[in-house]
Copies of this chain bind each other. A is one copy, B any other.
Amino acid sequence: MTERPLILITNDDGILAQGIQELTSLMCTLGDVAVVAPDGPRSGMACAISAVTPVRLQPVGPQKQALRRMQCSGTPVDCVKLALEHVTGRKPDILVSGINHGDNASVSMHYSGTIGAVLEGCMKDVPSVGFSLRTRKESCNFLPYRQVVLDTVAYVLERGLPQGVCLNVNFPEVDSQLEGVSVCRMARGNWVEEWESAGGETFRLTGRFVNLEPEAEDTDYWALDHGRASITPLRIDATAYPVLPGLKVLES
């Protein structure tokens, strides 16, 4: 007997977002699916957890072996933690997060709830992949990205990922066809001019991204800027190993 793969899906735009519905449709062709996603938008939640407030986990619609859907009042990382302890029953064969409305390339991955969920899956030894689309629209044409999603998930289901490594996949917005797929590193970049006045002592987050190495062809931003999907492997271990020896002067 060949068991169908168990696929856990989450996101940070909430269970009603178009991106997670597209992803769910695609994943249902590959295996049994459990969706555990926030009950509303949770953009910019990074790896945040509900340290104080209890969270609610509720079924959405009919629960079948092939497709279960649950919504959670917490963060994307809460969703993954709850899914693994209280929903999936066994360790999923893969976690996929997204498809996010908005890219998570370069340092944006640090703020992303989509990627927060991916890092959480990775910490729990579930092969984990995030998908994000560079768009500002709530309603998008996801057709041009389907094959890359399917190919990436098929690759990970077959080969797995190294311990402590997950994937951050980003798509540029294209009319009909990607220029290709690049495996690349995070670009160095930064958000600037991040606040606008919201009156009195209040401010609203905005900002624009500055790519500090726009000519670097081996980066995710270069790929996106040139119509290509980017696949960037991320690691959980944040230790800056090359710096360790120089800091030994601080030891005692």
Contact = CB atoms under 8 A, between A and B. Distances in A.
A32 to B, nearest CB: 23
Return the 10 tightest CB-CB contacts between A and B, nearest first: A44-B51, A46-B47, A235-B240, A54-B198, A233-B240, A46-B46, A185-B239, A48-B48, A44-B49, A233-B243
The secondary-structure label for the interface of chain A is mixed
A85 interface: yes
Interface of A: 41, 43-52, 54-58, 75, 77-78, 81-82, 85-86, 107, 109-111, 116, 119, 123-124, 151-152, 155, 161-162, 164-165, 167, 180-186, 188, 190-191, 193-195, 198, 200-205, 231-241, 243-244, 247-252
Contacts of A116: 46
Nearest to A245: B183
Copies of this chain assembled into the complex: 2
Given A152-B250, A162-B243, A233-B244, 5 more contacts: A44-B49, A45-B48, A82-B203, A86-B203, A181-B250
